[in-house]
Amino acid sequence: MPAPRKLHIGITYDLRTDYLARGYSAEETAEFDSPVTIDALADALGALGYVPDRIGGVRRLCERLVAGERWDCVFNFCEGMIGTAREAQVPALLEAYNVPYVFSDPLTLALALDKAMAKRVVRDCGVPTAPFAVIECSENLSGIGMPFPLFLKPVAEGSGKGIGAYSKVDDRRALAVVATDLLGRFRQPVLAETYLPGREFTVGVTGTGSAAEILGIMEVMWTENAAPHGYGYDNKENYEGRMEYRLVEDAEACEAGRVALAAWLALNCRDGGRVDIRSDAHRQPHFIEVNPLAGLHPVRSDLVFIARFKGITYTDLIGRIMAAFHARHPGLERPEHSG
């Protein structure tokens, strides 16, 4: 009996070193991946029985699709560079060519990147999220009527970009200074939220729809060396000695998990990712944002931290994500080692 054909899986990604070489800054490229991540992902997929093919970013994908190349499926890990729908570009292109892909669809990826739009949807679905307003320009500042303190950040960035000790503002003067700075630096609207002073959690989720489940709930804690108030760019880039992480299962953490899973379902997220949650002064967890393309660096990414705390290897984590993908594509035969 002939051996089953191995599935060829493309990998789409943005390599940080490529963009740094083009003159982009460290902060501008914070969401992009390192060769270590791509190597680990390709090795894990190979161990699971796939034949991985490293494609690269959206332009390289375009070239190869136009040249007639195809894959059985694509592990889409591409963040994109330009526009608030940048994470939706690769899956939209793959759908146009009818190529199945891992992770969420274009609608969810575009929605999730716009934090205000995501909050509107989860709020409409009954998921707790802090009151908020969107500052489109400096003229909007006079219309902000929420009580202080407020927390400010760019509306459509990831990896903590635009978040730091300055993000918590206590009066109108600070609001004007920080909002004006963020509007100028990131050239996009600013999200202003009621500041949540409680514990912060990040919740790993795998699966889609009714099959979605919590991988683990991790508390994010600040040491005396960390920049205060937010899990921002500086703290994420230099987490060692600044941040502490622990798996938690107390009542407040379990409620954070419930809120996270409700948000995951409300936004139609697929296969695997993370949901960030923070509690108010009354220990009620609130939705902050969802990351449907969560980092997968084998050492330093939060989703991998959660898996490691749960005793799940990197390869097994990728196997769980691929199992969720195959559950959505029952006609696509799974490799015998895929979990």
pLDDT along the chain (339 residues), means of 10: 76 94 87 95 98 97 98 96 94 98 98 97 98 96 95 91 93 97 96 98 98 98 73 61 92 98 98 98 98 96 97 98 98 77
197-325: CATH homologous superfamily?
ATP-grasp fold, B domain (3.30.470.20)
Angle between helices 115-124 and 106-113 (to 10 degrees): 110
Q: How much is the pLDDT for 1?
A: 46
- Strands 101-102 vs 73-77: parallel, antiparallel or unpaired: parallel
Domain boundaries, the chain: 8-103, 129-194, 197-325
Encoded tokens for 144:
């902000």
What confidence score (pLDDT) does residue 159 get? 74
Question: What's residue 333's pLDDT?
Answer: 86
The alpha helices in the chain, defined as continuous H runs, are: 16-21, 35-47, 58-66, 89-96, 106-113, 115-124, 172-186, 233-237, 251-266, 302-309, 314-328
Backbone phi, psi, residue 215, to 5°: -75, -40
pLDDT digits (tens, 9 = 90+) for 175-205: 999 999 999 999 999 999 999 999 999 999 9
Cα 262 → chain centroid:
16
CATH class of the domain defined by 129-194: alpha beta
Q: What is the pLDDT of residue 115?
A: 97
CA separation for the pair 203, 225 (Å, rounded): 24
pLDDT for 80: 93
The per-residue pLDDT for range 57-107, each reduced to its tens digit, is: 999 999 999 999 999 999 999 999 989 999 999 999 999 999 999 999 999
Helix axes 106-113, 89-96, angle to 10 degrees: 170
Q: What count of Cα atoms within 13 Å lies in the side-chain half-sphere of residue 43?
A: 12
Topology of the domain covering 8-103: Rossmann fold (3.40.50)
